[in-house]
Amino acid sequence: KTLENLRKEMWDGALNRVKTQLVIDKIAKVENIEVTEEELENKLKEMAANYRINLEEFKKSLTESQINSIKEDIAYYKTIDFIFSKCKIISKEE
């Protein structure tokens, strides 16, 4: 591959990721999908367990930016779940 082809592939991939994120963000807003304190707490417990540290210590180690990022991840997956819950699966007849 040439450098130009590689750049184009990377650009196209980045563009698709941005478009996808914008659509998901819009669906979350329209459908009023928000992260509850309970959902955040459960995710933090899960993460602390994965790192094998005390929950309170883990919380203290997080910056506000990191907490916001975790909330965004939760909202992203809630929105994906919402989208899939609205999908109708049809089997293709052979």
Mean pLDDT calculated for residue range 46-69: 97
Question: For position 93, what pLDDT does the model report?
Answer: 74
Place of tokens 């184009």: 8
Per cent of the chain over pLDDT 90 is 90
Question: For position 94, what pLDDT does the model report?
Answer: 61
Where in the chain are the domains?
3-86
Question: For position 65, what pLDDT does the model report?
Answer: 98
User: How far is residue 58's CA from residue 76's CA, in Å, rounded to a whole number?
Assistant: 22
Per-residue pLDDT of 18-51, as tens digits, reads: 999 999 999 999 999 999 999 999 999 999 999 9
Its CATH class, for the domain covering 3-86, is mainly alpha
